[in-house]
Structure 1
Amino acid sequence: MNSNTELLRQLKIDKAHKEAPGGGPPWGRIATIGGVIVLLLAVGVGAWGFFARRPVDVQVATAVAPSTAATAGAVLQATGYVTARREATVSAQITGALTEVLIEEGDRVAKGQVLARLDDNALRAGLASAQASAQAAHATVAQNEAQLDQALRDATRQEALVGRGLVSKQIAEQTRTQANTYRAQLNTARRQAQSADAQVGVAQVNLDYTVVRAPFDGVITDKAAQVGEIVSPLSAGGGFTRTGVGTIVDMDSLEIDVDVNEAYIGRVQPAMAAEAVLDAYPDWRIPAHVIAIVPAADRGKATVKVRVALEQKDARIVPDMGVRVSFLERRGEAHADAPKGVMVPSSAIVQRDGHDVAFVVADEKARRHSVTLAPPVNNDMRLVTAGINAGDTVITAPADTVVDGTPVHINPSTP
């Protein structure tokens, strides 16, 4: 009974909360509820705006101008560098101070041309000393020859006198022994003269080492020492001793080394036609072909090195230039024009609202571009004939959440 009474008391309407006079609604309570709803909506809109403005991490690639490789059936593209098969850092074969350096970067030199000279005063003195010793040795030889000749004549006369009984046989034998002694001394003097001549040769070679010459025809790409510095074939002097005078490169030996992913190395064959495009001259197409596939893989990069020969030599091609190589199924026509448009990764092209589009990064935002596509060249690249310009940064594999104006952040791991 008491419990029922308590329940009835709780259900009783407090007079303080009765409707306003005239039976109207409680406007104060409605206003409060409306304010709460507006506040919640504002918070929601603010949160949506925060997350909507948060940049999206994306992978990107650069749209590049196509080459004739696109029409010649490119089966693979790879990047690499121009290298010289014949390159040498030229140094002296002895340690010495430079008195002349006759080269500058860019100079063309011929085989045997003098590049530098070392201080040769001590070596010239050594050569003069060796020559004097050799002359003395040859004078000794001449003296011993004269003594031997006289001893032989004396021995002959003594033997004749012995036959007539005028002198004893012992005296004749002593004379003959003296002649034999002079003969032995002459042989020794001749050996000493030969040794002295060899010392002259050594001194001459050392003196010749003070002149640094070009080992082959080429171009000087680096001048490593100046007059007054000490050069040595060994780094004996630490930072105060140069180990080379300069670097010479045989420009006729230039070729390209490219690293091909081992998953695609099966597409490359020896003597395969190729086309090279230097990063410095993107509109210049250089015919090339595969020299060899180096039979060794790089475990860290999972690549195999391929040597590519350049079929055109030009002064614009220099070592260590970056280059892109397209390996071709067949040799393109010499007069073939590069197709119009730009090349982009196939993953950069997506379907939106039934149209082919690509997203270009501009001012850290994704900008939607409708594109016109040419027939596929390969599974990796597509030729875009309209809608994108060369050099544009396109988003590869854009997510469905990426729309026109979406803030983006380029992923640092982008190749």
Structure 2
Amino acid sequence: MNDTSNLLGQLRIDPSARQSRGPGAGRWALLALAVVAAAATIWLLFLREGTPVIATTTARAAPAGGSASASVLDASGYVVARRRATVSSKLTGKVVEVLVEEGMRVEENQILARIDDINARAELALAQSRLDAARAQLAEVRVQRDEAHRQLRRTRSLAERKLVSEAALDTAQAEVDALEARLASTQAQVVVAERAVRVQQRYLEDTVVRAPFAGVITVKNAQPGEMISPLSAGGDGTRTGIGTLVDMDSLEIEVDVNENFINRVTPGQPAIARLNAYPDWEIPAEVIAVIPTADRSKATVTVRVGFKQKDPRILPEMGVRVAFREAQPPQQAEQRRPGGVLVDAAAVQIDGDTGVVFVVRDQTLERRAVRIAGRSGGEVRVVSGLTAGDVLALGDLSQFRDGMAVKLKP
């Protein structure tokens, strides 16, 4: 019994001992549990799958040659083609074959379509037959002329011996002269027949519609079976052209500048063009000419602006904004080159004119603030915070942090 009481007494909790521990012991236990949970979370998020593998890009120096001068005037316009043609046939006829489609590039003299040539071939055959007949008649007259010359020689010989009268000699001479005249007339008829054949051959060639210059077909107007005419008076069912051909190498910009500011624009002045479809793409341009006339209704003057670089993204009739720059002497233009570096836009978290990038150094990320000067296509111009050759991390930038260890893709 005493043993049982001793055991129960050992299990009894002393209230004084519990009060001596105080409330701080429970807090320390909770803190230890929080530390263990945080460590487990970090292990689950970062250590369980190992060091993340990321792609990288390299900052490169901004190319020289851009204009750093300020804009003196902005204007809107459209892309136009200086060389553009609605290709048609010289003859009125039925289209039997069309060999082009919209967007197709063609070369100079390439066949675009064919017109019904049955009548042209018949006219050519008729002209060739007339030429053959004229040549046969010419051969006959030549034979008659040669015979008349022989008869004249015989008559002259007999007249010298007083065997024939002078009247007979005159008759033989008249026959020769008549055949000579007839021969000349027949030769002229042969020449006329030959030219008629060439004309009919030209008509036959005109039934084949060819490209006057190299370019791209932008509009296809005619289909096989339709009537086509170079004139617009053929009626509702008559087309006036096979299609529209545009020389893409002749694309330029036409802008209307308010006549109050036309004094700010001069031929040869540098400019920057931005297509409405690609507002971040700066295209170097230059003023070609200022058209010396004003539009009375709009009080504007048309200015032609040429592209300094060609690109397939530039299409006719696109809207475009042009920023006319200050013209600089060559020495100043060489000195004022655009600064900064160009980096992939996916490597920058952009916020207005500033941004954040993660520079990779010794397989560790370094968070860095940068200043943005503009965008061009898929690249961002950074004017401070980076130097050419810096390696930047690509990916979900929100998951990166300063000092994070990473592995680089090969």
Shorter-normalised TM range: 0.5 to 0.7
Counterpart residue number, 2:222 = 225
CA contact (8 A) 1:98 1:228 kept: yes
User: What is the correspondence of 1:120-135 to structure 2 with a 5 Å cutoff?
Assistant: 120-135=117-132
Q: Report the Cα distance in structure 1 between the residues aligned to 2:84 and 2:145, rounded to whole angstroms.
A: 59
Q: Does 1:199 align with 2:196?
A: yes
| TM superposition outliers: structure 1 runs of 4+ over 2 Å | 68-72, 330-342
TM-score of the two chains, using structure 1 as the length reference: 0.64
3-state secondary structure, aligned to 2:202: helix
3-state secondary structure, aligned to 2:236: helix
Distance 1:104 1:203, change over 3 A: same
User: What is the correspondence of 1:47-196 to structure 2 with a 5 Å cutoff?
Assistant: 71-196=68-193
Q: Does 1:318 align with 2:310?
A: no
CA contact (8 A) 1:69 1:275 kept: no
3-state secondary structure, aligned to 1:201: helix
Counterpart residue number, 2:7 = none
Q: Report the Cα distance in structure 1 between the residues aligned to 2:251 and 2:127, rounded to whole angstroms.
A: 46
CA deviation after TM superposition for structure 1 residue 199, in Å: 1.1
Distance 1:272 1:70, change over 3 A: closer
CA deviation after TM superposition for structure 1 residue 70, in Å: 9.3
Q: Report the Cα distance in structure 1 between the residues aligned to 2:263 and 2:160, rounded to whole angstroms.
A: 100
CA deviation after TM superposition for structure 1 residue 217, in Å: 0.8
3-state secondary structure, aligned to 1:170: helix
Q: Percent identity?
A: 51
The AA in structure 1 aligned to 2:105 is R
CA contact (8 A) 1:69 1:328 kept: no
CA contact (8 A) 2:67 2:337 kept: no
TM-score of the two chains, using structure 2 as the length reference: 0.64
Counterpart residue number, 1:299 = 296
3-state secondary structure, aligned to 1:263: coil
Query: Mind listing any 5+ residue stretches in structure 2 that lack a counterpart?
Result: 1-64, 343-349, 354-371, 373-410
Pairwise CA RMSD of aligned residues? Answer: 2.3
3-state secondary structure, aligned to 1:104: coil
Counterpart residue number, 1:215 = 212
Q: Does 1:278 align with 2:275?
A: yes
CA contact (8 A) 1:102 1:115 kept: yes
Q: Report the Cα distance in structure 1 between the residues aligned to 2:186 and 2:93, rounded to whole angstroms.
A: 35
CA deviation after TM superposition for structure 1 residue 236, in Å: 2.5
Q: What is the count of residue pairs matched by the alignment?
A: 277
Please identify, of 330-339 and 268-277, the stretch whose mean Cα deviation from structure 2 is larger: 330-339
Q: Report the Cα distance in structure 2 between the residues aligned to 1:230 and 1:209, rounded to whole angstroms.
A: 15
Distance 1:83 1:268, change over 3 A: same
Q: Report the Cα distance in structure 2 between the residues aligned to 1:88 and 1:264, rounded to whole angstroms.
A: 33
CA deviation after TM superposition for structure 1 residue 337, in Å: 6.9
